[in-house]
Structure 1
């Protein structure tokens, strides 16, 4: 079992990241859909949707949304939000997507770069490309590898409720590795996260190989222009050639 298959299916993963700013995320998605000029009722996939917060908000904005995630527990949770224009399903992003042609696919908040094999990374781009309509958009919201390398914090403790998560970060080759240790319910736990430090060129090569063109890069959730030295994010906008 891959690290993300076990870690993402635990309640502790969601607890650790429970401080994520919903308002910032909703403002980002609102700006993003306005920037793309996606009309109401456009079909959007939220790829790696987790607990569905972005899918639900996109649906409230008037979009027809399909949320996909590898975590069965997350999708079971998400099912409570389903309606005629909001559906959820278990899916591995490396595999072809069985769905009607889409206007856009969003992969948000560093939900890419988990795979050791480069072929798996390319398969993600191919599966997205194949499900999009001509002229459709793929938004890949990723970390800025230059910023990460310069600003890594080696050790920290994050407290959530009565649990102290001890976090150790290091760079190993092309990856940033986050080691996570804590005690809960009288038991010790140990997980890790491992994400590739993809360069801009590497990401673009996967895209162009499939037939995408990159039309924009934003550097943060306010959609400011990307600057490789100071931008906290690397939000790629790709378009499937018509």
Structure 2
């Protein structure tokens, strides 16, 4: 049986199965979110945006099509290799560790679709926010799009089976030691696989503490991709705007 390594995200994100399981992600919703977000931030055409932990680049492509100059970075070499086919003069992709400052300044830095809180070391969460601060131009904005853990805790689906491309993915979700886990088991071509996703169960108060220590200011918070007001009990997302 294949099992995750200590850094689960490097093992899981670089497999083809990760992309099979999540192939039905809503690209239209992603595009609408980017329009709402860039409008709220009043980003002019040609503004420079860093898409931090960009995966295969779906948000980066939307932003580029809207006229922005976009750099997408991710730790997954497989995802970046795929995304590079879409590169052009104003869209570039690169392998990069988001705990470290990227050597360029941007009008906005986006960390989207719960791409935060994966790290083995607690300090890496703080280091990532400090890195975002270093990557921003004066008057630039950072954005973290995270789960609302209070809502997730009340509405957790403990187990689920999802069939994609003929593969039955058996998923189990649970909270343990301050983290939200998702165990994923499946069999393909007579080989059993087991991966675990793990994200720190961070709340708004946790992010406020990070921001204070990193020396950044929380400007606003939203509860969904239409930028409706954040409600601790009922919002599915926690979208944070800071500078």
Taking only aligned residues, the RMSD between alpha carbons, in angstroms, comes to 0.8
Q: Mind listing any 5+ residue stretches in structure 1 that lack a counterpart? A: none
- 1:138 maps onto 2:137 in alignment: no
Q: Give the Cα separation in 2 of the matches to 1:73 and 1:79.
A: 10
**In the alignment, what sits opposite 1:26?**
31
Aligned to 1:44: 49
The residue matched to 1:208 in structure 2 has which SS? helix
Following superposition, the deviation at residue 208 of structure 1 comes to: 2.2
1:223 aligns with 2:227: yes
Tell me the distance in 1 between the aligned counterparts of 2:55 and 2:137. 24
| Structure 1 stretches of 4+ moved >4 Å | none
Deviation at 1:116, TM superposition (A): 3.1
**Structure 2 Cα separation of the partners of residues 174 and 223 of structure 1:** 27
Q: Calculate the TM-score normalised by the size of structure 2.
A: 0.96
Following superposition, the deviation at residue 109 of structure 1 comes to 0.5
Where does residue 76 of structure 1 map in the other structure? 81
Secondary structure (helix, strand or coil) at the match of 2:217 reads: strand
Instruction: Tell me the residue number matched to 1:163.
Output: 167
Q: TM-score, normalised by structure 1?
A: 0.96
Corresponding residue of 1:2: 7
Give the unaligned 5+ runs of structure 2.
1-5
Provide the rounded CA distance (Å) in 2 between the counterparts of 1:211 and 1:44: 21
- Asked if 1:61 corresponds to 2:77, the answer is no
**1:204 — aligned with what?**
208
- Alpha-carbon offset, residue 98 of structure 1: 1.6
CA distance in structure 1 between the partners assigned to 2:238 and 2:112 by the alignment: 11
Measured in 2, the distance between the counterparts of 1:177 and 1:61 equals 35
1:185 counterpart (167, 170, 189): 189
